[in-house]
Amino acid sequence: MTTATDFAATRAFFDLPEGVTYLDGNSLGPLPRAVPERLAQAARHDWGGKLIGGWNDAGWMEMPDRLGDRIAPLIGAPAGSVTLGDTLSVKVYQALAAALALNPDRRVILSCAGNFPSDLYIAQGLARTLERGHDLRTPPPEEVEAHLSEEVAVLMLTEVDYRTGRRHDMARLSARAHELGIVTVWDLAHSAGALPVDMAGCGAAFAVGCTYKYLNSGPGGPAFIHVRPDLAQRIDPALAGWLGHEAPFAFDPDYRPAPAVMRMRVGTPPVLQMVALETALEVWDMARIEDVRARSVALSQRFIDAVEASCPALTLASPRAPEDRGSQVSFRHPEGYAIMQALIAGGVVGDFRAPDILRFGITPLYLDEADIDRAAESLAHIVNRGLWDAPEFRARKPVT
């Protein structure tokens, strides 16, 4: 594989604990080495030193759009079409409310049963709040295309399934949806930073995503939202906050939306989280998303091959074809929970999703062949010898 990305350098960008093989970056990315000092500096120098002046003099006010412009190329979106803030759930609400308003005569929100539950909850909460009889449909992922029709107002999907890693065909579903007059909302939580995304090419109306997975912004990092530029000016935001006002510091009593995607800003930007994100995004100065994807496919295949060869009790839950997968590999086992606890205890960190899924994030920015081999060996060791069958691994926290 020829590559312009020096993966030894990207690995050195992160501070991974000694003895840990971390395959859970699809849930929370690891710490970029420079973050602690940058956070301390931002607090000491900018907040402590500039006080209220930081909003202008430290560039805090522009952070949401400046960092949006750094994320835009990773998702194939033009500059000025992405902004940041809030959590992904809030950004889903904003996008879905705006999408429904663009299709006021239709009453069906089409998603799928594989969507992240919070996206479905947000749709349920919005539908209840609107009281207009919107119907949320969640067919199995592979049946979504058959449910597209002129009844559907909005197609709202997460490109990559958080459990299986199954990937929707975003270009195809978007094209078909647009032919039927459906407004599209894509959640890129498991895509941004993991694989190339082509928002401009697929012509979808909205994209949202989080930054604490493959973009490594840390716990509670801000979410992003992209709006197709020709649509942005037509949106009257549901969450009409002062940072989305045309002139926040005019303190006008009436809301006037800011230009373009800036109207999707809501409240005061979370500056400390954005400092961590800004630091984390510097890895993209030395990494190309296409290289990351190619290496993720290679490492994933290596992992699947090794596990299938050594560990017959596990069943691949992810699609076998690389193009149908995101950047994670999942296996099923009825005792998946206990197996994962045993694996973590031995220093290989993945995670578990009910009822029986073991998830492994394959993140080439900081994982290499040796990590993959160690993970596969450890898994085979635990499963084949039944080492998971111990009280300390079987005891589960109640999820109520």
- Nearer Cβ to a copy of itself (250/395): 250
The residue type of 192 is A
**Residues 241-260 close enough to bind a copy of itself by CB under 8 A:** 241-243, 245-247, 249-255
DSSP reduced 3-state for 198: coil
Q: Please tell me the count of residues contacting a copy of itself according to CB under 8 A.
A: 95
Q: Which two tokens stand for residue 172?
A: 């195809």
Task: Establish if 161 lies at the interface with a copy of itself (CB under 8 A).
Answer: no
List the alpha helices (DSSP H) in the chain: 7-13, 35-41, 49-50, 54-57, 63-71, 88-102, 117-130, 144-147, 170-179, 199-202, 229-232, 271-281, 289-310, 336-345, 369-384, 391-394
Per residue, the 3-state secondary structure of 157-172, as one string, reads: EECECCCCCEECCHHH
Q: How far is the CB of 56 from a copy of itself (least distance, A)?
A: 8
Task: Establish if 43 lies at the interface with a copy of itself (CB under 8 A).
Answer: yes
**Residues 215-234 close enough to bind a copy of itself by CB under 8 A:** 218-223
Rounded Cα–Cα distance for residues 300 and 304 (Å): 6
Q: How far is the CB of 46 from a copy of itself (least distance, A)?
A: 8
**Which residues are within 8 A (CB) of 257 and not within 5 positions of it... i.e. 6 or more apart?**
235, 236, 237, 240, 244, 245, 246, 263
Binding residue (CB under 8 A) for a copy of itself from 200, 238, 260, 316: 238
| Binding range to a copy of itself, per CB under 8 A, among 75-83, 271-279, 329-337, 367-375 | 271-279
Rounded Cα–Cα distance for residues 79 and 65 (Å): 9
- Nearer Cβ to a copy of itself (132/320): 132
The residue among 354, 309, 308, 307 whose CA lies nearest residue 335 is 354
Q: How far is the CB of 386 from a copy of itself (least distance, A)?
A: 25
DSSP reduced 3-state for 390: coil
Binding residue (CB under 8 A) for a copy of itself from 39, 148, 306, 316: 39
Site track for a copy of itself across 2-21, x = CB under 8 A: -------------x-x--x-
- Nearer Cβ to a copy of itself (222/326): 222
Q: How far is the CB of 384 from a copy of itself (least distance, A)?
A: 26
DSSP assigned state of 325: B
Q: Which two tokens stand for residue 306?
A: 């090794």
Task: Establish if 30 lies at the interface with a copy of itself (CB under 8 A).
Answer: yes
**Residues 338-357 close enough to bind a copy of itself by CB under 8 A:** 344, 349, 351, 353-354
**Could you list the active site residues?**
116, 187, 212-213, 359
